Amino acid sequence: MSSTTLAAGGSLSFTLPQELTVIVLCALTAFISHLALAVFNDGVRPFMLDFIQGRSTRNATTAVSFGLSAGFIFGLGAPMALSTGVLNPWLVFLPTDILGIVSPKKWLAPLLGAAWGAVVVFALGGANSAAHKLPVDFLTAMQQMSTPILFLFALFPALAITKQFGRARGGLAAVIELVLVVMTMKLWPNMFAGALAMAVGVLMLIGFAVARDVKQRREERAAASAMQAAADPPDADDPMASLFSSSALRLRKHLPLFMLLGAGVCLLAQMHIFGGGEATSFLIAKGDYSGAAQVDFYRVFGFIPLIATTALASGAYAIAGFTLVYPIGYLLPNPYLAVICGALVFAGEVLTLSSIGRLLGRLPSVRDCSEHLRSAITDTLGLAILFGSLMAANTMGGGLGILIVGGLYLLNEVMGRVVVRMAAAPAAVIVGGIVLNVLYWLDLFTPVKS
């Protein structure tokens, strides 16, 4: 299977049920965001408590949401969707965060969300078709990003192990992952090369974390005394525990709405027009749904502690929950099962949120490993997206393409990252592609022959 040729051909075309699903789901997520029950952007969630308790205005919260989301929407979400032909959460859910919060009326929020869903399914396809007809087809060139993203992403467990447990264990994990990638390519050429390596790497990370926590708890019990036990205040007297309880109760009161949300997100994933991440989008486009499920399943371990703690602290959940509905949806055979499973998964998540928070409090190393996982994912994808963007620049414009795209990326860095780093390179490819087309029309550039 080619690493760069996408089965979907980068075409954004949808059937009527798919269009309706996107539009209705965008309306629902905007409504839920308006009620401050859930947002997709993890950076916005901590600000929701002040909004919920009336210490922050709707306009101020909207400004925070827009500032933290705009770069991802236009710099990462739109370019990834246009190049892969697969929708992603930055394009679908981040705008509905903003539209829901900015809406002054409850009835207006779903209308604004539905309007954005219509833009996604109708206007984006037209822009995609028009871009493919340009002399310099920068969207096809952007498919070059798939190879570095898919292969470098497989290393994130080794990086996370190194960050948390040191160079020796990290080096061992990296060697094991490399051996497994080579073995997979040799023995199972039709399988996603990083699948087995990531599975073993994540298991090693969790194993190291659990072993450390078990050892630490044994040492604490051995050193514990009656005085120390008496000094530990009960959860009922802990103000943070009280806050967590009230937040969990607030979310449980809206359980039917969350079940509807889970059903919608899982249905969207089951339709195979949506990918939960950068690597996942390319795998979905290639038709490798099992590989996509594996990738998003491993990412779950990096986000459960973050989502659980921010939800309990703020009273606002995540639009995609713990993101377990992504891999489940990819693998389900029909939409009816997706609706049922999505609703049940979200119900389970919301009902067990307090228990998950308490469990994470007892396993500090497991909780910390999620932070290292997220950091490792950011590092690997940052390099992969930059390298892939330069490959795309070379494909569409040779040295001049590299100069423009690389130059835009560097200018963004020295200007204080006007566009967030993760989104800067794909955005530079699109801007560079437009510039190369203008130069072609001015008879100053001849497109590179493929």
pLDDT digits (tens, 9 = 90+) for 228-239: 544 555 444 444
Q: What was the pLDDT predicted at 347?
A: 96
The SS3 call for residue 5 is coil
Please give the residue that has the higher pLDDT: either 12 or 145. 145
Q: Which of 134, 143, 12 shows the shortest CA–CA distance to 429?
A: 143
Q: What percent of the chain has pLDDT over 90?
A: 60
Concatenated DSSP letters of 367-430: HHHHHHHHHHHHHHHHHHHHHHHHHHHHHHHHHHHHHHHHHHHHHHHHTT-SS-HHHHHHHHHH
Amino acid at site 436: L
Cα first-last separation, the chain = 20
Rounded CA-CA distance 127/79 in Å is 11
Section 172-199 average pLDDT: 91
Section 309-313 average pLDDT: 87
Please give the residue that has the higher pLDDT: either 233 or 81. 81
Q: What was the pLDDT predicted at 355?
A: 87
Query: Using an 8 Å Cβ cutoff, are 390 and 405 in contact?
Result: yes
Q: What was the pLDDT predicted at 310?
A: 86
pTM of whole model > 0.85? yes
pLDDT digits (tens, 9 = 90+) for 41-79: 988 988 898 888 888 899 999 999 999 899 899 889 999
Confidence of residue 450 (pLDDT cuts 50, 70, 90): low
Q: What was the pLDDT predicted at 225?
A: 54
Phi-psi region of 287 (alpha: psi -120 to 50; beta: other; left: phi over 0): left
Residues 310, 418, 129, 137, CA torsion sign: negative
Domain boundaries, the chain: 16-154+238-441
pLDDT digits (tens, 9 = 90+) for 252-309: 999 999 999 999 999 999 999 999 988 999 999 999 999 999 999 988 888 888 888 8
Q: What was the pLDDT predicted at 11?
A: 65
Amino acid at site 228: Q
Concatenated DSSP letters of 142-185: GGGGHHHHHHHHTTHHHHHHHHHH-HHHHHHHHHHHHHHHHHHH
Name, in order, each residue with C-beta under 8 angstroms of 273's C-beta and a sequence gap of 6 or more: 14, 18, 22, 86, 87, 284
Please give the residue that has the higher pLDDT: either 359 or 38. 38
Dmax (CA) of the chain: 84
